[in-house]
Amino acid sequence: MHNLPNDPIERLVALLAKLPGLGRRSARRAVLRMLTRPNETMLPLAEALAAAAAAVRPCQTCGNLDAQSPCGICRDPQRDHHLVCVVEGVADLWALERAHAHRGLYHVLGGVLSPMGGIGPEELSIQPLLARIAAGGIEEVIVALPATVDGAATAHYLTDRLRPSGIAVTRLAQGVPMGGALDVLDEGTLAAALRARRPV
């Protein structure tokens, strides 16, 4: 943290303004709001930040961020430990958890392959995924990578690497999103939804 102002208000505004979604203007507004009741708003937030910074770490098994490792999902006996969903990052894992759509475990790749960005297979958590599979018990891997060029290339590469293990490899369905009007969808999505049409 360089060049932070010494004044406590300006310093707090500068740090808050670095957060995604907050600019200087909204950071100032947030600080003013908090300063009307500092003990009820600023101190709990300060403590929550310090507690999270101290406690949260990547799960050594799946890469999720949690206060314990293995994380709460990996330790949950209610979940299906035969089923592993591969995601690009923790944000996608959280999104799937909010949808309550996946009963199994996860594996966070930590990115997607990007020849332009210098991200090769060694930069991603692919070897640990193969080790998890080699340890036995996993019957299906769901590849839930973003539907982008890099995401599709990564899914393709991953499928090739997983094939020798003989386990089932699936991927998320592509199609029309819920509530999505057809006329605002891109052609690629429409074509994919048409190809993957299903009997009613």
| Residues within the interface to a second copy (CB under 8 A) | 1, 4, 7-9, 11-12, 15-16, 18-22, 26, 28-35, 38-53, 55-56, 65-67, 72, 89-91, 94
Q: Which is nearer to a second copy, 18 or 103 (CB)?
A: 18
Of 143, 148, 145, the residue nearest 188 (C-alpha): 148
Q: How far is the CB of 108 from a second copy (least distance, A)?
A: 11
Q: How far is the CB of 71 from a second copy (least distance, A)?
A: 11
Q: Please report how the helices 149-162 and 127-134 are oriented relative to each other, as an axis angle in degrees rounded to 10.
A: 40
Q: How far is the CB of 6 from a second copy (least distance, A)?
A: 9
Q: Which is nearer to a second copy, 67 or 147 (CB)?
A: 67
Establish whether the linkage from the previous residue to 20 is cis, with ω within 30° of 0.
Answer: no
3-class secondary structure, 49: helix
Of 109, 143, 145, 112, the residue nearest 128 (C-alpha): 109
Q: How far is the CB of 3 from a second copy (least distance, A)?
A: 13
